[in-house]
Amino acid sequence: MKKLKFLEIDGSFGEGGGQILRTAITLSCIMKQPINIENIRKNRKKPGLKPQHLTSLSILKKICNADVGQIKIGDTSLKFIPGHVKSINLKENVGTAGSISLIFQVLIPVIAFCQKKLKLTIIGGTSVLWSPTIDYTQIVLREVYLRMGINCSINIIKRGYYPKGGGIVELEVLPTKKINSIALNTRKTKNAKLICTFSKLPFELINNQIKNIKKKLIENNFIVETKFNEEPTLDSGSSLMISSIDNDSIIGIDSLFNIKTKTFDLDLDKFIDNNLSVDEYLADMLVLPASLARGTTIFQVPNISKHLETNLFVASKITGCKYGIGKLKNGYEIRIEGISYTNIK
């Protein structure tokens, strides 16, 4: 029997969190490359695998017959051997308020790039700390996926806040026929869409915060469209999503309502002052599909985050893609030369 050759990845590199794990197992499935990850989430207060990671790995075991050995919460190392990806319908439960959005970052590219189909109903957290909200995933990340040729739909059935979760989301992913590189330049629109979802909190409390945010946007010459959704959930909570999208830019920012301070934890200036093409969170999410695309993907971002640095490192190590970073007056330009992934005809 031929001995497997594992690609060694140090999970403490860069941001040293869950991002390096998600990107590595996703590309491992797509490239059929066994990997050995050490020091998983070493830079976090509680290192090792969390429930959302176990859910992602459990689903990958089902869709590609992956061999992950005996794993449990808190493990800091993982040998991952991908198998053949298949189309599948699934129902899954994270069991906590673990982030559904972060699980989707793994599943969508694997299914799409391997030209399979997935229908998934999943229960977990839709709006939780240290994760993009499901609205960000549905509005911002899905937008860039569609432009690059990744066809997926996200249907939010029920919201789930910390600590109980209980959010329900339906995901459908279709085969990708072609991975397009994209070029995003500078933001040209001053339109902003603001979506606020809340549960078991007084509307007046939430509305007062939204009024202040809207006022600041208008003062900076934005045309603001506002939408409120009051929806039943297991726990009280509120999430806010602000997006600004045109042909040359995809920029978003999301936030959760802080029950203690009674405010949204939001750095609105990041959204207002960003006249480039993507926000700092989308920048790192762009790396994986760009590494597999045909041609060169170009985008501009205000700063180089640890997540972006991490994804560039992991993607180039697993796929062999090349990238460059150029300094701009008000940020950085990223160029990623994709490998023209050959399994997509």
Counting residues of the chain whose pLDDT is more than 90, the rounded percentage is 81
Statement: residue 2 has pLDDT above 70 = no
Instruction: Determine the distance from the C-alpha atom of residue 218 to the mean position of all C-alpha atoms in its chain, rounded to a whole number.
Output: 29
Per-residue pLDDT of 249-300, as tens digits, reads: 999 999 999 989 999 999 999 999 999 999 999 999 999 999 999 999 999 9
Q: What is the pLDDT of residue 341?
A: 85
Q: Tell me the residue type at 105.
A: Q
Which one from 307, 310, 334, 341 is the annotated catalytic residue? 307
Q: What is the pLDDT of residue 45?
A: 84
Q: Tell me the residue type at 201.
A: L
For residue 344, name the pLDDT band (cuts at 50, 70, 90): low
Domain assignment present for residue 7? The answer is no
Q: Of 1-15, 160-174, 277-291, which gets the smallest average pLDDT?
A: 1-15
Domain assignment present for residue 317? The answer is no
Q: What is the 3-class SS of the chain, one letter each residue? A: CCCCCCEEEECCCCCCCHHHHHHHHHHHHHHCCCEEEECCCCCCCCCCCCHHHHHHHHHHHHHHCCECCCCCCCCCCEEEECCCCCCEEEEEECCCCCEHHHHHHHHHHHHHHCCCCEEEEEEEECECCCCCCHHHHHHHHHHHHHHHCCCEEEEEEECCECCCECEEEEEEECCCCCCECCECCCCCCCEEEEEEEEECCCHHHHHHHHHHHHHHHHHCCCEEEEEEEECCCCCCEEEEEEEEEECCEEEEEEEEEECCCCEECCCHHHHHHCCCCECHHHHHHHHHHHHHCECEEEEEECCCCHHHHHHHHHHHHHHCCEEEEEEECCEEEEEEECCCCCCCC
Domain assignment present for residue 265? The answer is yes
Q: What is the mean pLDDT of residues 302-312?
A: 94
53 in active site? no
Domain assignment present for residue 219? The answer is yes
Q: What is the mean pLDDT of residues 323-333?
A: 96
Domain assignment present for residue 13? The answer is no
Q: Of 36-50, 100-114, 137-151, which gets the smallest average pLDDT?
A: 36-50
Domain assignment present for residue 209? The answer is yes
Domain assignment present for residue 95? The answer is no
Total tally of structural domains belonging to the chain: 1
Statement: residue 1 has pLDDT above 50 = no
Q: What is the pLDDT of residue 280?
A: 95
Q: Is there a contact between 238 and 257 (Cβ–Cβ < 8 Å)?
A: yes
Q: What is the pLDDT of residue 345?
A: 44
Q: Give residue 237's domain range.
A: 191-273
Q: What is the CATH number of the domain that holds 239?
A: 3.30.360.20
* Average pLDDT, rounded, for the chain: 93
Q: What is the pLDDT of residue 4?
A: 75
Residue bearing tokens 């085969």: 175
Domain assignment present for residue 213? The answer is yes
Statement: residue 188 has pLDDT above 50 = yes
